Amino acid sequence: MTTQIALLIFIVVGGTFGEMCVTRAMKIIGEVKDFTPRGLLRTGRRAFKIGWMWLGFFLMALSYFALLGMLARADVSFVIPVTSLGYVVGAIGGRWFLGEDVSYHRWIGVLLVCFGVYLIFVGRS
Amino acid sequence: MGVAGHLRLKTYALIALLILFGPFGDLLMSKGMRGIAIPASLRIGAIAHYVYLVFTSPLVWCGTFCMIGFFVCYISVLSWADYSYVQPATALTYGAVALLGKYILGDKITFLHWMGILVVCVGVAFIGYTSPATAEPPFSPPPLGEGPLR
- DSSP per residue over B37-58, as a string? PPPSS--HHHHHHHHHHHHT-H
Q: What is the per-residue pLDDT across B35-58, written as a single tens digit (0 to 9) for each?
A: 888 887 778 888 888 889 888 999
Condensed to tens digits (0 to 9), the pLDDT of residues B3-23 reads: 777 888 999 999 999 999 988
Per-residue pLDDT, averaged over B91-102, amounts to 85
Q: Which residues of A50-81 are buried (b: 16+ CB within 10 A; e: fewer)?
A: bbbbbbbbebbeebeebbeebeeeeeeebbbb
pLDDT at position B70, please? 93
Q: Do A106 and B109 touch (CB under 8 A)?
A: no
Mean local confidence (pLDDT), B85-105: 85
Q: Which residue has the higher pLDDT, A88 or B97?
A: A88
Banded model confidence at residue B147, pLDDT cuts 50, 70, 90? very low
pLDDT, tens digit, for every residue of A26-42? 999 988 988 899 999 99
Q: Inter-chain contact B141–A109, Cβ cutoff 8 Å?
A: no
pLDDT given at position B136: 58
Show residues of chain B in contact with A28, CB under 8 Å. 141, 150
Interface confidence, given as ipTM, is 0.89
What is the predicted pLDDT for the residue at A63? 93
**Mean pLDDT within B25-41:** 83
Please answer whether residues B75 and A26 qualify as being in contact, where contact means their C-beta atoms are separated by less than 8 angstroms. Answer: yes
| CA distance readout (Å), B10 to A52, A117, B73, B135, B146 | 25, 26, 11, 17, 33
Residue A109 confidence class, pLDDT cut points 50, 70, 90: very high
Asked if residues B101 and A68 have their Cβ atoms less than 8 Å apart, the reply is no
Contact between B20 and B26 (Cβ < 8 Å): no
Phi, psi dihedral angles at A101 (to 5 degrees)? -95, 100
Residue B85 has pLDDT above 60, yes or no: yes
Q: What is the pLDDT of residue B149?
A: 52
Q: Which residues of B touch A22 (CB under 8 A)?
A: 75, 78
Question: Which chain B residues have a beta carbon less than 8 Å from that of A98?
Answer: 82-84, 135, 141
What is the dihedral angle through the alpha carbons of B40, B45, B50, B56, rounded to the nearest 10 degrees?
Answer: -160
Model confidence at A125, pLDDT cuts 50, 70, 90, reads low
Q: Percent of chain B, pLDDT > 70? A: 88
Q: Please give the Cα distance from B46 to A59 (Å, whole number).
A: 35
Nearest to A98 among B83, B118, B128 (CB): B83
> Residues A54-105: pLDDT tens digits?
999 999 999 988 988 888 888 777 787 788 889 999 999 998 899 898 899 9
Angle at A121 between CA B71 and CA A105, to 5 degrees: 65
Residue contact B119–A98, C-beta within 8 A? no
User: In sequence order, which residues have a C-beta less than 8 Å from that of residue A116 and are 6 or more positions away?
Assistant: B91, B94, B116, B117, B118, B119, B120, B121, B122, B123
| Element (DSSP H or E) covering residue A119 | helix A104-122
Residue A52 has pLDDT above 90, yes or no: yes
Does the beta-carbon distance from B119 to A119 stay under 8 Å? Answer: yes
- Residue B13 has a pLDDT of 94
CA torsion through residues B53, B59, B60, B61, sign: positive
- Rounded to two decimals, the pTM is 0.83
Please report the pLDDT score of residue B144 as a whole number: 53
Report the mean per-residue pLDDT for chain B: 84
CB pairs under 8 A between A and B: 166
User: ω before A81 within 30° of 0 (cis)?
Assistant: no
Phi, psi of B124 (to 5 degrees): -65, -35
Distance CA A79, CA B134 (A): 32
Provide the pLDDT for residue A118. 87
Neighbours of B59 (CB within 10 A): 17
